[in-house]
Amino acid sequence: MMQRTRIYLVRHGQVEGHDEKRYNGQANVALTQLGQEQSDRVCDSLVDLPLDAVYSSDLDRSRHCAELIAATHNLIVNTYESLRELDIGDWEGRTWADLQATYPQAWQARLRDLVNFQVPGGESLQDAADRIRPTMQKIIESHPDGDVVLVAHGGANRVILLDAIGAPLEQAFSIEQDYGCLNIIDYFADGNSVVKLLNSTAHQADLSALASRDSADGLDESAVK
């Protein structure tokens, strides 16, 4: 059988202000009580797996879940700033309604060219992909035939998943990433990759009625649909 690295790719739990349609970007927003429970459920779903390492964005909302998982496997969390959510710059912490009213031209420009538009003081989706990709390659190369967990964000996860299926960044909103979801990606030695599981929330089943589908780390399909 060909050598493969398996990545259990997780999105952090629900965050405070999720219902306000606000861009969080790289701010350290807190998890809600539900978000903490979602993190617990992700941890429980992975507890019996033989993991070799746990990686995370260094932002608290992702690191919280990563630390739970690491503790059950006697591992430490390897955090990377490069795995953070899209830097939304001057728009960080502001609601979509406020931004649409204050910067109507810039708002529309971003919708027209999500990949290359750069929010003042922030980064474009292409910029984010350029910092995420080398870290992903380093993780994969560090664990040949290994199984690792990576906890990150909606936007960061989309970049990773699009690359795994060979899709362009323009398709970012063709992939959903719910709070507390789990994805599985296998990376093979010949350079090919296979997404084995996408946006699964089966482990969150009895919490689903309470969970909001609104999300605003830095990317969200509702912003363009």
CB atoms within 10 A of CB 1: 5
Domain presence at residue 225: no
**DSSP secondary structure, 126-184, as one string:** HHHHHHHHHHHHHHHHH-TT-EEEEEE-HHHHHHHHHHHHT--GGGGGGS---TT-EEE
Q: What tokens appear for 9 in the block?
A: 């790719």
The whole-angstrom separation of Cα 137 and Cα 17 is: 33
Tokens 């719910």 correspond to 178
What is the pLDDT at residue 223? 38
What is the pLDDT at residue 213? 44
Domain presence at residue 54: yes
Identify the segments of the chain with pLDDT beneath 70. 1, 206-225
What is the pLDDT at residue 222? 35
What is the pLDDT at residue 70? 98
Residues 185/158, Cβ–Cβ less than 8 Å: no
Domain presence at residue 161: yes
Q: Mean of the per-residue pLDDT values for the chain? A: 90
What is the pLDDT at residue 210? 46
CATH of the domain at 158: 3.40.50.1240
What is the pLDDT at residue 202? 85
Domain presence at residue 184: yes
Structural domain count, the chain: 1
The whole-angstrom separation of Cα 41 and Cα 180 is: 8
| 83-98 pLDDT tens trace | 999 999 999 999 999 9
| 111-140 pLDDT tens trace | 899 999 999 999 999 999 999 999 999 999
What is the pLDDT at residue 127? 97
Residue 4 φ/ψ, nearest 5 degrees: -145, 150
In terms of residue numbers, what domain contains 47? 4-220
What is the pLDDT at residue 2? 75
